[in-house]
Amino acid sequence: MYATAVIGRLILVALATAVLGPAVAIAQTTPGIPGNPTNPADTVNNPHPTMPWAGITTPYGQLIRWLWVGPKTIRTSEGVDLFEPGFWVRETTAGYYYPARWVLQETTPGNYGWVLINGGAVGYKR
């Protein structure tokens, strides 16, 4: 008798939760656009005011993150390993921005020398 009464109460509570639970959750939501879209300068109420791409735009885009390009190994025809140093690339909202850097280039067959490569912006491929 006692076990059936407890199970009956549990079933009643489960049914009441299933029926009333969604109604309570729906009643607490407020529809509408978050923040204050009519005033872009309102950085307290507008969403994402501190994201790195918020602010003044530039032709190169706003900084998203820094990417590390690791050192590169070049094997010569004589079997000697030469190493180019790694460098940081800036990923922006407009694409990637590569710094000016020194790289190894085969100047004459079998001879390698350091060559300065200009940096610059490379857009995303669409």
Q: Which domain holds residue 96?
A: 63-123
Asked if residue 78 belongs to a domain, the reply is: yes
The confidence score (pLDDT) of residue 58 equals 65
How much is the pLDDT for 11?
Answer: 81
3-state secondary structure of 61: coil
pTM score over 0.75: no
Least Cα distance to 88 among 109, 66, 106 occurs for 66
Q: Tokens in use for 40? A: 């872009």
- Using 70 as the pLDDT threshold, list the residues of the chain that sit under it: 1-3, 16-37, 40, 42-58, 126
Domain contains 87? yes
Domains of the chain: total: 1
Residue 15 falls inside a structural domain: no
Kindly tell me the burial class for residue 101, based on how many C-beta atoms sit within 10 Å of its own C-beta (0-12, 13-18, 19 or more).
middle
